[in-house]
Each structure stands twice: as structure tokens, then as C-alpha cells.
């Protein structure tokens, strides 16, 4: 959801245990959000990524900021009801803290190691 993208796309929403179906020339080992094996299914990592983002970023939201601070990858969206939603990823082996500055107030946020956090706050517009 960075680098000026306007959408996020999952390569394959569902696949079988042999990573099929897949398009010729496409990824032959990409897991879908769900792997189906007969009557059983497994929710893969991408399932939780999609669910996490979809729970907090509704249709009509748009990205307002995206950066990396001290190896914490962040992206912030403004939702139609004027909430800010920040998703922050820490791929490192140690917890990391950073300052969120909004309208002159600072909030310290901590992202545990190998984790994603979502922080939501209301954006107030002066009238």
C-alpha cells in the first residue's frame, strides 16, 4: 500500500495444496489467502493481512502518508468518517518505539518484534 499505489491486490485468494490454480507465467508457489484441501481449509498469512487491513480501512479511504522510521514501515490512511488509520510493521527481532506527532501532541507508540499494529485516531478539522 506504498509507493503511490492506489489499490492492494492479492495474487490468488484461494489455492489447493499444490498452489493451483495459477496463471501461465505467474507465480507457481504463491499461497492464496486460503489453501483448500478437499473438505479442509487453512487460513494463510495473507488471509490475516487482508482481514486486518479490511477491518480498519473502509472503501473510500485514501493514503495520506507512508514512510519508514527506524525500520518501522508505516502507512497512514484517512477514512471517509475522518479517522486516521496507521498500520505499522516491525520485521525486526526487537520491539521498537517511535513518536507520533499530531497537531502538536506527541504519542509514543511501540511495535513489538515481528509484529503489526494498527492505531486509529479521529482527525478534527477546524471550522
Question: Can you give the CATH number for the domain in which 124 is found?
Answer: 2.60.40
Q: Give tens-digit pLDDT for 13-49.
A: 888 888 788 777 777 777 888 999 999 999 988 888 8
Same domain? For 31 and 77 the reply is: no
Do 87 and 121 lie in a common domain? yes
pLDDT of the residue at 102: 79
- Residue 39 shares a structural domain with residue 11: yes
Q: Quote the pTM value.
A: 0.75
Phi-psi domain of 33 (left: phi exceeds 0; alpha: psi -120 through 50; beta: other): alpha
Same domain (yes/no): 15, 48: yes
Structural domain total, the chain: 2
Q: 5 pLDDT band (50/70/90 cuts)? A: low
Confidence of residue 10 (pLDDT cuts 50, 70, 90): low
| pLDDT tens digits, 85-112 | 999 999 999 999 988 887 788 889 999 9
| Domain containing residue 92 | 60-127
Please check whether residues 100 and 44 belong to one and the same domain: no
Do 74 and 13 share a domain, yes or no? no
pLDDT band at 127 (very low <50, low <70, confident <90, very high): very low
Q: Do 7 and 31 fall into the same domain?
A: yes
pLDDT, position 74: 92
- Do 7 and 39 reside in the same domain of the chain? yes
Amino acid at each position: 500500500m506504498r509507493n503511490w499505489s492506489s489499490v492492494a491486490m492479492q495474487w490468488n485468494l484461494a489455492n489447493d495444496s499444490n498452489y493451483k490454480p495459477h496463471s501461465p507465467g505467474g507465480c507457481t508457489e504463491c499461497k492464496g489467502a486460503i489453501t483448500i484441501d478437499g473438505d479442509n481449509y487453512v487460513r494463510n498469512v495473507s488471509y490475516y493481512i487482508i482481514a486486518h487491513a479490511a477491518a480498519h480501512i473502509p472503501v473510500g479511504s485514501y493514503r495520506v502518508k507512508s514512510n519508514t522510521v527506524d525500520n518501522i514501515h508505516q502507512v497512514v490512511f484517512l477514512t471517509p468518517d475522518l479517522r486516521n488509520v496507521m498500520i505499522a510493521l516491525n520485521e525486526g527481532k526487537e520491539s521498537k518505539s517511535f513518536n507520533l506527532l499530531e497537531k502538536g501532541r506527541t504519542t509514543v507508540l511501540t511495535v513489538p518484534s515481528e509484529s503489526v499494529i494498527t492505531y486509529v485516531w479521529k482527525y478534527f478539522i477546524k471550522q
